[in-house]
A and B are shown apart, each in its own frame.
Chain A
Amino acid sequence: MNTLIAILRPDFLLRDALIGSVLVGLICPLVGVYFVLRRMIFLGVALPQLSAAGIAFSFLVYRALVGQHQHFEMSERVLALLGSFCFALGGLLVLAALARHRETVEARIGITYAVATAATILFVAADPYGEAHMIDLLKGDILTAPAGNLLLLTAVFGGVALVLFGFRKELLLVSFDRDLAVVFGMRAGLWEILLYFLIGVTISFGVLTAGPIVTFGFLVVPPLTARLVTRHMLTFSLVAAGLGAATAFVGFYCAYRFDLPLGPAQVTVASVVLLVVTCTRTLSWLVEKVHAT
């Protein structure tokens, strides 16, 4: 209880990290809802890794063309964001464009993941300056993020949430029944690019804030849990976001209380909730079946 009171105090040392990780937990599932509904879950593994490769690549190119970047400066984060966003969005657009060749979708995503992971390691190895710091960045350096980072994250994620909410009917229609959207005169391709853009932004900020594992975890696990307990689109999105934020907070508490790594603790808590909900649903289904017979 004392730990809980301590982390809720306004002067808590890691207050920005707490708020930042809860924001990632809140917004990633809102985007992840579309990953689940459009059956793009495997993309959720590959894209954060691709985003991490983009971070490493941007530093490598910067060092080759300009010189060594300054650690823990805002300019370093801007550089990382640029690389992360370009790789995530570029990869998403290419994979989405090839998605109609369904028979090789899984192979393409698997190759993307493998290449991105290998490229990340190679890019980091090729940069002799600050390799350790780079690895922190790639894992998501929420505990050492510079001042101003939280403000930027709040503004960007707030914007993503507003766009998702404002255009929810268009994004739903192009995702559920693309043909009907076209019949209604909507430019389905442009709406899909907007969705991919939002995904790219969310992943790049998510990876830089919390790392690829946490970003993938929160993109997929809370929406999968919410799908089991909701019957409407709006409640599906809201429950997914609420679960994401709540499990991020509980994960932070556990990490702080038991001295665990933050990201894995948060993803584990989210996964435990998914497991409990799945077991409860299965049990209630079995009980209903027994009663019926």
Chain B
Amino acid sequence: MSGTLLTLQQVSLGYEGRPVLERISFTVERGEFLALLGPNGAGKTTLLRGMLGLIPVQAGQITYGFDRLATPPGYVPQRDTLDPIFPLSVREVVLMGTYARLVPLRPVGQRQRQLAAICLAQVGLAHVAEQPFWALSGGQKQRVLIARALAAEPEILLLDEPTAGIDPGAAATIMDLIARLNRERDLTVVLVSHHLRLVRSLVRSVIWIDEGKVVKGPTETMLAPKRVADVFGTLTGTE
């Protein structure tokens, strides 16, 4: 199945009326594996939050190639945005992903429990289902949050810095897992990262974000050594 999952047309995004990104346009195709790259504070997370509908669009339009209410996107936040005061087991965290398709007053049932177990197995953590979520390592927590996103049965997975603050070994495992989900399930993936080396061999396309502008292209072109130097030096055009 092919087609456009997400279209941004002349979109401006920002906070409290102040734009961070202005008049950006690009599309995300079904099955694409896309990384949003750029220096700290460039607006990567702002763009991701705009794509998720978490911040209002100041200008332009975002069009979704799927029913957002029936099939909401899978979202993996930065894990340090979650409060460790909540007494939650790994299973309870993953089950939250199934709430996307449960109407109010309808409790979690057998189907949701099975789905959560499958998603947990897919990230290789079926054996920790009953453990407290906060007792896991950073890498394991991140994989649990990916399982939670999968439990929403999404067509597109959006991840905010999935390897931030994680040791290199665990980060590679997470990136391999995301690449496998993209390859084997044909799941469209958009992730924010600042680890060029980590994403270089895995993602198929890249969006460079800097100084309020974006440039999109295939990985081999966008992450060519000369291009990287050029982009970090003087970023000019938009696509």
Contact = CB atoms under 8 A, between A and B. Distances in A.
A183 interface: yes
Interface of A: 36-37, 39, 166-167, 169-170, 172-173, 175-177, 179-180, 182-185, 227, 230-233, 235-236
Contact of B87 (A170, A175, A180, A231): A231
Which of A37, A166, A176 has the most chain B CB within a 10 Å cutoff?
A176
A176 B96 contact: yes
Given A179-B75, A185-B68, 10 more contacts: A167-B105, A170-B99, A176-B83, A180-B77, A182-B52, A182-B54, A183-B72, A183-B73, A232-B89, A236-B87
Interface string B93-136: 00010011010110110000000000000000000000010000
A185 B99 contact: no
Nearest to A236: B87
Contacts of A185: 68-69, 72, 100
Interface of B: 49, 52-54, 68-69, 72-73, 75, 77, 81-83, 85-89, 92, 96, 99-100, 102, 104-105, 107-108, 132, 152
B77 A177 contact: yes
Given A184-B100, A231-B132, A233-B92, A176 B108 contact: no
Nearest to B77: A179
A29 B213 CA distance: 50
A44 to B, nearest CB: 15
Contacts of A233: 86-88, 92
A179 B105 contact: no
A267 B105 CA distance: 34
A169 B108 CA distance: 9
B85 A227 contact: yes
Nearest to B160: A179
Contacts of B73: 183
B53 A182 contact: yes
22 contacts: A36-B85, A39-B83, A167-B105, A172-B96, A173-B99, A176-B86, A177-B82, A179-B54, A179-B75, A179-B77, A180-B96, A182-B54, A183-B73, A184-B72, A185-B68, A185-B69, A231-B87, A232-B87, A232-B92, A233-B86, A233-B88, A236-B87
A230 B104 CA distance: 26
Contacts of B82: 176-177
A205 B24 CA distance: 53
A230 B83 contact: no
A225 to B, nearest CB: 13
Contacts of A232: 87-89, 92
Which of B75, B87, B102 has the most chain A CB within a 10 Å cutoff?
B87
A37 B53 contact: no
B88 A176 contact: yes
Contacts of A184: 72, 99-100, 152
A183 B53 contact: yes
Contacts of B49: 179
Which of A175, A231, A233, A235 has the most chain B CB within a 10 Å cutoff?
A231
A166 B104 CA distance: 8
A170 B92 CA distance: 13
Ranked 4 nearest A-B pairs via Cβ: A184-B100, A185-B69, A183-B75, A236-B87
